[in-house]
Structure 1
Amino acid sequence: MRPNDSDAIAGSDAPVPRIVSRTIPIDPLNPSVTALIDLLPAQAPLAWVRRGDGIVGWGEIARFEATGSERFTQLAAAWNEMRSQAIIRDEVIRPGTGPVAFGTIGFSQATSAPSVLVVPRVVVGRRDGQAWLTVMTTADAPFTGPLELSDLAEDREPVHEPGNVTFGTGSLSESQWTDVVATAIELIHGETLEKIVLARDVVARTEHPIDVRHLLGNLASLYENCWTFCVDGMVGATPELLVRTEKGLITSRVLAGTVQRSGDEETDTAHAAILAHSSKDLEEHEYAVRSVAQALRPYCSSMNVPETPFVLHLPNVLHLATDIAAVVDTAQGATSLSLASALHPTAAVCGTPTSVAAETILEIEGMDRSRYAGPVGWMGADGDGEWGIALRSAELDPHDPRQIRLFAGCGIVAASDPEAELAETHAKFAPMTQALLA
């Protein structure tokens, strides 16, 4: 696959609708980690939830789609035009209130999968015990009724389980994929690359049509320290926060360097100690941290990058992790989406040097990543928002309600072993396989 030279945005000739947005506080939701997800209808739910807090949405009053190298710029321009004309009444004024767009962005400019921003009709959010409701309409069809969540919730069918699930080969067989990893290692030894991230996919088929709420509820319960998301058929629980902007502050969580959990606490403690001192994993992690810091620095007046990573414990794996914090340089006028564009792709999902790694991925990986490992999240009218990396994720098949494509990837460096990397992908498939089977 080669880069797509024809950039496009859906509806670029159509006028952007003028929206009317109203946000009000509502009674506290029940304290469960799935309380927000439990509100969602089966059709096209939108979600960004962690530890029970976050935002969910449904309905659709606007959608913007873009492809190619200018996808970030075109989506940002469409959203900026919409928010500049919006009529906003916000009685809560917290991150996630007011007009909100959920987004999922293609990993590569070469993918045919569209990058999407969806503006929902209804958003419900919760943060630190406070809950709110936002209703968005168009100026030519304003909402005139009382703002009651019970009146705005769409008919909610019971959540359906997928029944029996079978897993099949994706774009490459396991042996073909380990051959690709071996090729990448040769390129690294030949000094073409320092690091490359290679991904693979598997395809799952279910007995009954997939109810994405079943997946979301399981992911939010099993992986509550991750960001559980669903936007335009991309669903997952990512441990990696690409960028958050909030009132002038920037946060980014970098993950690189992984070991599978054993299920035994004492063994996992020993594994964490080994991971923290592994030269191979520390090298991989250093590449990733350096790429994020370098990409953010032009937009920041100050930055804090810890010298050593910590070990993040997740139910399926242990990761080396670094939390980068920075202060926005207001003269740059950066938004969460423009920062996501500047950061993507990081070494954690692409490699080093980034441009060489990206080109090599297109040449040898053997599949279209679609929106896997691309930014996913939300942004508000003030430009603040949260964008994760679409990892531990899957993509629903838009043509077959019983099929879903699961993704996993690994960072390859000179000391990598193809069979060990294959085993790591099995560990990284676990969140989505568990969500399907639970």
Structure 2
Amino acid sequence: MLIPLLDARHPLLWIRKGQGMAGIGEALRLEFTGPNRFSDACEAWRQVAAAATVVDPLNSPGTGLIAFGAFAFSAQSRLSSVIIVPSLVIGKRDGVFWLTRVTVQGAEVQTDHPVPPAATGFGPEYRISLLPGAAKPDTYRAAVEEAVSRINHGDLEKVVLARDLVGRLPDDADLRRVIFDLALGYPDCWTFAVDGLIGSSPETLVRVDHGTVSARVLAGTISRGRDAEADHDQAVALATSAKDLDEHRFAVASVMNALGPHSRTLATSEIPFTLKLPNLWHLASDVEGALSDGSTSLDLIASLHPTAAVAGTPTQDALQLIERLEPFDRGRYAGPVGWVGADGDGEWAVALRCAQVDAGGTITAYAGAGIVSESDPEHELIETKMKFRPMVEAFG
């Protein structure tokens, strides 16, 4: 397990089904803000990769020079977007372990078979309650009502509205405990930790691997049933829900339109499938194609963000409404989080089911719901409660 190797207060991790990478230390840190944060990051990373001398006999995804990254949702966010090159990376994929050492002075990167650092035991147990933040339940219901009114007046088709929960870490809190619970409880999700942003996301924003691009789109949600029969009925209800199918259609179209200019062979299924998670069912669609323009994963997250699954349709109208109705800065919630290699390949998720832990130990968790014309404020509030469950349980 990679998690015991992490720094207890500043973990760097990207893992799914026990496979991925853990980072230790910071060999290089790059920060970006504003509307050009993605293009600035693309250019900066190209320069870093071009200047590096990389020794990588394994030549597998995640070996060689890599950086972990997390980007702010909004161009107006007060929280910076960040790319971090660890001093040491310990990785595992398809039964193969590796270790990458990074030396900044000589711009050298070397991957080999590992003699990993010793794992350390977790710190004392702790339990934290996450309580409503700036968006109280009544505030959220009122925002949904206004959004539905705007949609029914033809101002837009869909908007995703989020709310927040807040808490505070003890001074000696070991974040690896939370990450371990997330990875164990949600093995099919991307469990991540980058610069205080921690979570387990079910949604792959984009993956680039040797010229192939893929994504998994999630939109449309229902809770799991209490027994096998009720669970089946819930899945059927979701798969036949006009409201959820409409929401999903907007999200898939958003991704196809964004990736279309980069791939001539882009394809997705006509009908979404139901994806089972421990606490929820989602409507899901996979998108895949061959890259036709040499784009990197950083180029593609710039094209994709924000998708309709986290913003709405039309995008600019939805973003304006989010700015007006949400009483907080989303920070990196619903932004891209993942990793990029020197060749531009990488894996990026949408930062969902997550919380940001700041330097003072304040925790802010986020969850949102897609609002369309058929949305009911109480139902959408309940949906956010279900989506908060991974973080509430991990901290509590």
Aligned twin of 1:319: 282
Match of 1:265 in 2: 228
Cα contact 1:163–1:208 (8 A) shared by 2: no
Alignment of 1:203-218 (within 5 A): 203-207=166-170, 209-218=172-181
The answer (yes or no) to whether the contact 2:9–2:173 under 8 Å persists in 1 is no
> 1:62: which partner in 2?
28
Q: Distance in 1 between matches of 2:22 and 2:98?
A: 11
Whole-Å separation in 2 of the counterparts to 1:303 and 1:272? 28
Partner of 1:121: 87
Segments of 4+ in structure 1 off by > 6 A?
141-144
Task: Show the counterpart of 1:424.
Answer: 383
Name the aligned partner's letter for residue 54 of structure 1: G
Residues 291-327 of structure 1: CA deviation (Å, up to 9, x unaligned) = 0000000000211111000000000110000000111
Aligned to 1:436: 395
Matched, 1:385 2:346: yes
Amino acid at match of 1:383: G
1:136 aligns with 2:102: yes
Alpha carbons 2:98, 2:114 under 8 Å: kept: no
Distance 1:121 1:259, change over 3 A: same
How far is 1:177 from its partner? 1.0
Using the alignment, how far apart are the partners of 2:83 and 2:90 within structure 1?
Answer: 18
Q: Does 1:414 align with 2:384?
A: no
Q: Which amino acid aligns with 1:68?
A: G
Higher mean displacement: 124-133 or 198-207? 198-207
Matches within 5 A, 1:194-205: 194-205=157-168
| 1:43 Cα deviation from its structure 2 partner | 4.0
Per-residue deviation, 1:379: 0.3
Alignment partners' CA distance in 2, 1:302 and 1:85 = 33
TM (norm. structure 2) is: 0.96
Deviations 1:75-94 (A, max 9, x none): 11111101001101101110
Equivalent residue in structure 2 for 1:158, among 102, 121, 126: 121
Task: Confirm whether residue 366 of structure 1 aligns to residue 332 of structure 2.
Answer: no
- The answer as to whether partners of 1:162 and 1:436 remain within 8 angstroms in 2 is no
2:52 equivalent to 1:76: no
Q: 2-side partners of 1:326 and 1:187: how far apart?
A: 36
Q: Which moved more, 1:133-142 or 1:341-350?
A: 133-142
SS of residue in 2 equivalent to 1:149: coil
Tell me the TM-score normalized by structure 1: 0.87
Q: Establish whether residue 89 from structure 1 lines up as the match of residue 55 from structure 2.
A: yes
**Alpha-carbon offset, residue 265 of structure 1:** 2.1
Separation (CA, whole Å) in 2 of partners of 1:367 and 1:159: 33
Q: Hey, what's the Cα distance between the residues in 1 that align with 2:108 and 2:206?
A: 34
Residue among 107, 123, 137 paired with 1:174: 137
Query: What amino acid is the match of 1:110?
Result: Q
Contact conserved, 1:41 with 1:157, CA < 8 A, in 2?
no
Tell me: CA distance 1:161–1:202, structure 2 relative to 1, closer, same or farther (3 Å): farther
The question of 1:37 aligning with 2:3 is answered yes
Q: Give how far 1:131 is off.
A: 1.1
1:343 match: 304
Partner residue, 1:235: 198
| Structure 2 segments unaligned to the other structure (5+ residues) | none
Checking the alignment, whether the CA contact within 8 Å between 2:221 and 2:238 is kept in structure 1 is yes
CA shift for structure 1 position 158: 2.4
Counterparts of 1:381 and 1:142, CA distance in 2? 12
Aligned length, in residue pairs? 395
Alpha-carbon deviation of 1:397?
Answer: 2.1
Q: Which residue identity is paired with 1:59?
A: G
Report if the CA contact (8 A) 1:162-1:207 is conserved.
no
> What residue in structure 1 maps to residue 155 of structure 2?
192
Matched AA of 2:241: S
